[in-house]
Amino acid sequence: MSLRKITSIAELHKYLHAALQLEHATIPPYLTALYSLSPGTNSDAARVLRVVIVEEMLHLTLAANMLNAVGGSPELTRPGFVPQYPTRLPDGETDFEVGIQAFSREALETFLKIERPARSPEEGSGFVRRPRSEGAVLPTFMHDDDTEMHFYSIGEFYHEIGRGLKSLHEEMSARGENLFSGDPSRQITPDFYYSGGGEIIPVVDLDSALEAIRLISEQGEGIGGAIYDYEGEISHYYRFQQLVLGRYYQKGDEADQPSGEPIAVDWGSAYPVKRNARLDDYPRNSELHAAAVRFGTDYQALLGTLTQAFNGEPGLLEAAVGEMFRIKESALQLIRNPIPGMDGVNAAPVFDVRSSEGGDHE
């Protein structure tokens, strides 16, 4: 994977494809952590995870709207879109990997890194060039050269998209051309999507595109790293931090110092699911293998429905969002069952069964 500063429509399309991958890549880890919770426990943690997952679906949809607005075509079913975990995120953050695991302190620490505010004391600016790094990285549609553009946070990644949008809009407007030439009928509008976590924004011009970027960035990390987003809701980073610190934030609190009601988190009440499970972790012709294939097939069908919704059939989106949570039962068929021959290890969902057999994994 390699990122350059946005100087062309082709570069912009590549960034927005990477944004789709980025938003999606957080959903399987968050879903697995949610579904790993033991029944009747950790209601606060479950509530936080559900809210964040719904908002990540909103962010995915906003990224699709932006790509459609500038003449691209969202595609969520092509090989490599679903990562093999653990993976680095496609915005180039190199100091951590994202994996599939049970709800735990370690999982929450990773979630905090995913959602961290846009600040890098060592690097200052939002991006730097570095040599190509080692390790699994989501394949993207970026340039294939000897250097990469690395962003410290998701917010800084979107800042570059916003900068590129403004620059290209100015250049094309000066030539009498329109950057936002995509078919408006492909936009997901509030008529087709309501999440309770922010209203969908149809992207038809520069102002609406920048508004979509602001919503995505601030729901993740707050306004400039503050606790709340512009709607006054707690951002993802601080929602997760509440669980780690064991207390809710309330208005007037300083960052890292919540003073609200205590949160009871039982870190031991989660099924011990296999980290970064692959299909070949389950014996062939076993019930677990069949359940894993069924889940992965259903998940790919869900991504297919989302792709259709983002490419001219917006009425399908509501059904797809509901299906995201209806797959819970097939996930639990895995999560609540031990893997034969692995003492104290339960099965976990496999989100891409097409490429999960073979290869090295935990």
**pLDDT higher than 80, residue 325:** no
pLDDT band at 92 (very low <50, low <70, confident <90, very high): confident
Q: Does 152 or 259 have the greater pLDDT score?
A: 259
Range in 121-130, 262-271, 300-309 with the lowest mean pLDDT? 121-130
pLDDT given for residue 175 in this prediction? 96
Mean pLDDT (whole number) for 58-87: 95
Query: What rounded mean pLDDT belongs to the chain?
Result: 87
pLDDT given for residue 197 in this prediction? 58
pLDDT given for residue 350 in this prediction? 95
- Give the position of tokens 């509030």: 190
Using one digit for the tens of pLDDT, what is the confidence trace for 276-321? Answer: 999 999 999 999 999 999 999 999 999 999 999 999 999 898 788 7
Using one digit for the tens of pLDDT, what is the confidence trace for 177-233? Answer: 999 999 999 999 988 865 555 689 999 999 999 999 999 988 987 666 689 887 788
Report percent pLDDT > 70 for the chain: 85
Architecture, CATH, for domain 9-270? Up-down Bundle (1.20)
pLDDT given for residue 320 in this prediction? 81
pLDDT given for residue 121 in this prediction? 44
Give the SS3 label for residue 270.
strand
DSSP string, 41-102: --HHHHHHHHHHHHHHHHHHHHHHHHHHHTT----SSSTTSSPPSSBB-TT---S--B----
pLDDT given for residue 280 in this prediction? 92
Instruction: Please report, for the chain, the start and end positions of each structural domain, with discontinuous segments joined by +.
Output: 9-270
Mean pLDDT (whole number) for 119-148: 43
pLDDT given for residue 133 in this prediction? 39
pLDDT given for residue 225 in this prediction? 67
**Tokens coding 54:** 């719904």
Spell out the alpha helix ranges (H) of 130-235: 154-174, 206-221
d(CA 357, CA 154): 30
pLDDT given for residue 220 in this prediction? 84
| Phi, psi torsion values for 284, nearest 5 degrees | -60, 145
Helix H or strand E segment including 288: helix 287-310
pLDDT given for residue 126 in this prediction? 46
Handedness of CA 111, 351, 31, 325 (dihedral sign): positive
d(CA 324, CA 362): 26
